[in-house]
Copies of this chain bind each other. A is one copy, B any other.
Amino acid sequence: MPFFNFPFTADKTVKNRALIVSVGNFYPGEDLSKRHGVKRDNQRLHEILSKLGFSVKIIMDIEADEIYEAFKAESKKTVKDCFVGVISSHGEEGVVFGADGGAVKLAEIYSYFRGPSMADKSKLFMIQACRGHGLDEGVEADSSFSEEEDGVCELFSIPIDTAVMYATSPGYGAFMHPAGSELIQTFCNLLEEEGGPDLEITRLLTRINFQVAYNFKSRGKTLGGKKQMPCFVTRFTREVFPFRKMAAEEDLSLNFAATQLIDEPKRSRKSSIS
């Protein structure tokens, strides 16, 4: 068996970081509707991730090129154990739109995080986008890139030790409210629940799947059907706990994204959600 390569950072001044890029207002003539709720999402993400020790940067309403630049710049810095990237905008398959209506290929964003600064760090992306074909007709992906140029499959461009959570709302309005998007608000709720930040990442994301899926079903019937729910893709090779705050901050051997390959206990346990 191979060795365990711990994402160990001795420098205590290096923090975990989050970059939140959200587009709520598009340039006139772009035929992309204003997205209410974006500010509320940003505020809560900032508040909760900061409390959990992340250095959080928020950038709003930037153009497609600027979105690429923002993530490229972030990918060249390092983090203690974990980087969280959030993108919230209108989207199409594999792309989201900048304020100028330009398409941002998600595959390209992910691929930046293959570099040495981010090696062995946990990376989590949350994509609040992917609009349904039934709504907002007339929006097309920017035609400046072709299939040939775009050889990288989105799924397979995701680096090692990375997960991507997709809101996947074919029927966009169902998931974005003035009070914030289902995906981001559920993520924030879980991180505020007792024990939430202690959850192993795939367990946390599975709970988001559950809560968004069933919250959504209970609300609207017009866009009904089970497919309006999130999913996540993971290339994590370890079990990681990126939001866990240790009592003893100086205990670095446990403080980073704890690596555990463990036995599943066989006893059944009580639900923490009722």
Contact = CB atoms under 8 A, between A and B. Distances in A.
Interface residues of A, number: 66
Contact of A271 (B119, B232, B261, B270): B261
Nearest to A218: B2
B262 A272 contact: yes
Contacts of A227: 114, 156-157, 159-160
Give the interface centre of A159, A199, A210, A274 by most chain B CB atoms within 10 Å: A210
Task: Indicate how many identical chains form the complex.
Answer: 2
A203 B2 CA distance: 18
A2 B214 contact: yes
Given A239-B206, A269-B263, A160 B198 contact: no
A194 to B, nearest CB: 9
A270 B272 CA distance: 24
Interface in A87-122: 93-94, 114, 119
Interface of A: 1-2, 93-94, 114, 119, 130, 133, 151, 153-160, 166, 168, 170, 195, 198-200, 202-203, 205-207, 209-210, 213-215, 217-218, 226-227, 229-239, 241, 254, 258, 260-266, 268-274
